[in-house]
Amino acid sequence: MKAKRIPERFCLGCQESRPKKDLLRIVRSPEGEFSVDVTGKKAGRGAYICRSMACLERARKSRALERSFKSPIAPVVYDMLANELKGLEG
Ligand SMILES: [Zn+2]
């Protein structure tokens, strides 16, 4: 019996590997615009964080997003992510 491997990605906040479905995908489009990718199918370079405010804060403080995308991240992008997480956490 071959177990189907669940795709995993690293969270930029806690640096732990988690199933993709438990993570929030952040995408930078070829035009350089950041957005939250809820479907996981948007084109562009992606990064992942847990669906948790704590991990977003850690990623913000450690500048992990900047490092991952090799570009500055505007505060509005973090606000957008925070809003998205608030909605998911309910
Ligand atoms: Zn995390």
20 DSSP assignment: G
Q: Which has the higher per-residue pLDDT, 1 or 87?
A: 87
Task: Determine the Cα angle at 16 with ends 63 and 90, to 5°.
Answer: 80
**Residue 36 dihedral angles phi and psi, to the nearest 5°:** -90, 130
The Cβ of residue 44 has, within 10 Å, a number of other Cβ atoms equal to 17
Ion ligand 1 neighbours, Cβ < 5 Å = 11, 13-14, 50, 55
**pLDDT for residue 34:** 94
For the whole model, what pTM was predicted?
Answer: 0.86
User: Tokens 């990605």 belong to which residue?
Assistant: 9
**pLDDT for residue 90:** 62
- What's the CA-to-centroid distance between 71 and ligand 1, angstroms? 21
In tens, the pLDDT along 32-90 reads 999 999 887 889 999 999 999 999 999 999 999 999 999 999 999 999 999 999 887 66
